[in-house]
Structure 1
């Protein structure tokens, strides 16, 4: 069932974005046996028993199980999760996979989505073999490489003059006016069901991390990781949750104090007013977590280091490394800690040099 995060009202598992009270929704199910419920696949279908999609509605494209790379950074074991190696080049494929499966189940063949690039690319790629027509709203400031890929994938592009919040509003207006289904990954509870599988994979690959550092704008990966580890705790697999660290772009912070200097390199998390803000605050409180802001110069430094390590990511991914350096320096992450750093988007989609 779906449960409202604000008032607690429940709904059947149909495609729905909000509660009648305006609150956001999460899928709520009981799971009992983690390892006993795994399926014999080497891709995301391994976790189908934990996902709200039926076996008859599996999208033709399936996200991969991505590798981890452990590196020692100043006495801390940094576990880089290479989710930029997904088919469309970002972790968004996980949420898209579950979303498209739900749309197939309900026979929805035309939808509206807004995105800074990665969610749009993911949805365009996965909707194409599923026969779903996708109207994608993007800002004129979207990275040219991503726009070019969207055009080649057959998406119907709608350009908006404004920031991410303006694009979001225009997409909602268009969907309502045209009578189409709006599939915002910011609001979509099924998207978070997909991103929670990162936690499942990490637990199978390296066990439970002490800290989880997440690039955080709308919170789809931040909340997905929390939900995945929370379900593992409820199944008795782990006894506590990792400490969650929300890493945000300076000038666009929603959880940290807002800076006056904007980090426009980390465009994937340039979301100052996310609709799931209260949920993210509750996660920080529950896990004794914290928020770290990263500026443009710090992002460039981390991006350069990652390239030298052979990790070709886009700037938004690099903010977690910069945050780790800061937290090691201040002693907030002590020596010997195991820290998860998801790398969320591929640098191969960038056409300009950074």
Structure 2
């Protein structure tokens, strides 16, 4: 009702074991690592992926080193630790955390279990599409996903393409990538605007605060192929939607997920989604993983 669309569904990815969609990719990535005899891995994460890798590494009996920004939400840092990973807190921008992780695994000859780069991770996130196809409602007209590195966005599209090729669905949805306006490399590129690391600003949507996503071109290609849109939303609208979804729908999502609802509103206002269309928003992480909205 808030966005003027009759049929809006929310897919609660925070119902995964560690509270975010990252478990989809991590389950496959760490299973492969276990099969290959890997005993120690390195990962860098703003929180959710780190917690997921820590949990699945613990189950697999693999030592995990998780590098996280020092300014990551305390709840996420504590979650990483409780699963048993050796945590490394890094000061500076998000990119500094990635570089520290790369230096660490190269110096020690370890395996870099990066959710941003691993092809196995996408093999896990594609199950998002398979679940939608198997649901009673089937595949929606639009899928709205908050995008940082784009692991769920790319994986979901991979799944839809496989399902289409197999004849299990007869259409693929328009894929929409939502970013925070403080860190918007994909949305800017989609709009044909120049955006660099120097243009970045702090945002409460830490899960999509990725200034130099390695898979940016893949995301842009999918936006084109699916005839989707990429837009950036401000922190004020993110907080509003986080509160609204909790108080009106009983869905307490983290700010990153709330960004997707803010994006849905703009997509509807601009006519990219009509009133009769069926839209689905990926609620990628649980609200208790972050600081409560002010």
TM-score range, shorter chain: over 0.9
Contact conserved, 1:116 with 1:138, CA < 8 A, in 2? yes
**By how many angstroms is 1:118 displaced?**
0.3
Contact conserved, 1:263 with 1:294, CA < 8 A, in 2? no
SS in 1 for 2:285: coil
Looking at structure 1, the residues matched to 30 and 74 of structure 2 have their Cα atoms a distance apart, in angstroms, of 26
Match of 1:270 in 2: 209
Match of 1:340 in 2: 280
Which of residues 226, 231, 255 is equivalent to 2:157?
226
Looking at structure 1, the residues matched to 171 and 291 of structure 2 have their Cα atoms a distance apart, in angstroms, of 42
Looking at structure 1, the residues matched to 293 and 223 of structure 2 have their Cα atoms a distance apart, in angstroms, of 35
Contact conserved, 2:268 with 2:274, CA < 8 A, in 1? yes
Structure 1 segment 159-238 matched on structure 2, within 5 A = 159-205=89-135, 206-238=137-169
Contact conserved, 1:249 with 1:263, CA < 8 A, in 2? no
CA offsets, 1:113-161, max 9 Å, x none? 0000000001111111210100000111111111122222211111111
Match of 1:318 in 2: 258
CA offsets, 1:272-315, max 9 Å, x none? 11111111111011111111101100100110111011001111
Structure 1 segment 31-110 matched on structure 2, within 5 A = 73-110=3-40
Match of 2:79 in 1: 149
Match of 1:302 in 2: 241
Aligned residues: 284
Contact conserved, 1:250 with 1:263, CA < 8 A, in 2? no
SS in 1 for 2:103: helix
Which of residues 140, 148, 152 is equivalent to 2:70?
140
Query: Is the alpha carbon distance of 1:220 and 1:228 closer, same or farther for their aligned partners in structure 2, counting shifts above 3 Å?
Result: same
Normalised to the residue count of structure 1, the TM-score between the two structures is: 0.77
Looking at structure 2, the residues matched to 195 and 305 of structure 1 have their Cα atoms a distance apart, in angstroms, of 28
Structure 1 segment 232-247 matched on structure 2, within 5 A = 232-247=163-178
Which runs of 5 or more structure 1 residues have no equivalent in the other structure? 1-70
**By how many angstroms is 1:170 displaced?**
1.1
The range that moved more, 182-191 or 151-160, is 151-160
SS in 2 for 1:113: strand
Normalised to the residue count of structure 2, the TM-score between the two structures is: 0.93
**By how many angstroms is 1:261 displaced?**
7.3
Query: Is the alpha carbon distance of 1:83 and 1:306 closer, same or farther for their aligned partners in structure 2, counting shifts above 3 Å?
Result: same
**By how many angstroms is 1:262 displaced?**
3.3
Query: Is the alpha carbon distance of 1:353 and 1:280 closer, same or farther for their aligned partners in structure 2, counting shifts above 3 Å?
Result: closer
Looking at structure 2, the residues matched to 351 and 243 of structure 1 have their Cα atoms a distance apart, in angstroms, of 32
**By how many angstroms is 1:75 displaced?**
3.0
Looking at structure 2, the residues matched to 313 and 352 of structure 1 have their Cα atoms a distance apart, in angstroms, of 10
Contact conserved, 1:262 with 1:295, CA < 8 A, in 2? no
Which runs of 5 or more structure 2 residues have no equivalent in the other structure? 189-194
**By how many angstroms is 1:73 displaced?**
4.8
Looking at structure 1, the residues matched to 130 and 207 of structure 2 have their Cα atoms a distance apart, in angstroms, of 24
